Amino acid sequence: MDYTWIFFNIFVILSSIFGDTTILVASIKYNAFTLHKSIVTVIQHLAVCDLLSTFGYIADVSLKLAGWEDLNHVFYKEFIVYLYVISHPVSFIFPAVLTMLKLLIVKFPFHARLWSKRNAHLVCGFIWILSLAYPINIRLDPKNLDASSPSSDLPPSFYLRLDVSRALGLAGTLVPLSIVIVTSALLIFEAVKVVRKRGNRLKLEGLMTVIATSVVFSILVLPQGVFYAHYYHQVIEANGAKSAQRLFNVMEYMLRANVMVNFFIYSLTVTSFRKFLLERAHQLKTAICCGEEGNIDIERLKTDICCGEKGNIERLKAMICCGGEGNIERLETAICCGEEGNIDIERLKTAICCGGKPPSAVEKMAT
């Protein structure tokens, strides 16, 4: 289990850093999301939240391994834990905001055209400010008290803090989850009604993105709701059944997966983002195969391939023509560019650098 958890976290960390960074770069610099600007803004804030959670988790684990937690270091207690925990409620609220925004866009399409990025950033900023109060739950967490003694010896404040902490965790889980489920159902109903009423096609790209995000979010968050509702007391009091501990482990896996899954959802449901990824992958392949800039210097390529590393044309003439009266320029053209001597840059690039079907003369030379 320990090795599984380690490898799983490494995969989640790498996927989150690569995926969320790609989402931010693609949406901010290249406008790779052809969705409503308010939806894109929420997606950007959600990516920042996932990155914050990932780096907070890395710092948390690193400082624990360094022993700072045992020393009750101020930096660990007051900054790293706060940084890590603050992203938790935001990652729950933004999917709810995403579904509500999409529902309003479908229901009021003409008003939605007037919504600006600035207003979307203000809403997201208000959510960030609101979530600053969530880490107060750490102060109320009964785990900060000693629960190893018999229940009769536990102070009344333990149970009070236990109930308050459980209530906050349950509300922070079930309220966003309920909003996501209800608004997703209303969104599907409203989308069907719009199609039937207006008789035109609805843009499915943004709809599928929001619905897929909602479904995955609900699946990943549901174990936490069950945990707070039924098993929280058992785990905190350290006398719970094995089923409670197993559910807690499942919850941890699910919450960790929640920070990296959005990249894969957008790759599958947003066509423009998928095209952006394919174009960047092709450019990377070209850069590896054909040079750093991806541009072929045709003369240099002809010389390197046909005439040897030093480009000695007389050496090629001696090796291939063996002193005959053949036209060396014609021979060079026939080998590199085909019998007619017409250079097709894309064809040559595909044939020599990146695979594919090469010209017949090149095949002959390779043979």
154 is written with which tokens? Answer: 């536990």
Which range, 224-238, 241-255, 326-340, has the best average confidence (pLDDT)? 241-255
Contact (CB, 8 A) for 149 and 69: no
Question: Where residue 265 falls among pLDDT bands split at 50, 70, 90?
Answer: very high
Apex 210 CA angle, 204 and 211, nearest 5 = 80
Residue 344 has pLDDT above 60, yes or no: no
What are the pLDDT digits (tens) for 154-176? 455 555 666 777 787 888 899 99
Rounded distance, CA 226 to CA 223, Å? 5
Cα–Cα distance for residue pair 254/269, rounded to 1 Å? 21
- The predicted-structure confidence for 283-306, as pLDDT tens digits, reads as follows 888 877 765 544 555 555 555 555
The answer to whether 310 touches 321, Cβ cutoff 8 Å, is: no
- C-alpha–C-alpha distance, residues 34 and 15, integer Å: 23
Residue 5 or 217, more confident: 217
Give CA–CA dist 13/71, Å, rounded: 26
Task: Give me the pLDDT at residue 44, please.
Answer: 96
Q: What is the token pair recorded at 258? A: 């929640």
Average pLDDT over every residue of 57-64: 80
What's the pLDDT score for residue 200? 60
Q: In the prediction, which pLDDT does 158 show?
A: 58
Measured CA distances, 359 to 14, 334, 343 (Å):
41, 10, 11
Average pLDDT rounded to a whole number, residues 37-42:
94
pLDDT at 361 exceeding the cut of 50: no
Averaged pLDDT of the chain? 75
N residues, the chain? 367
Work out the angle between the directed axes of helices 117-131 and 37-66 (0-180°, nearest 10): 30
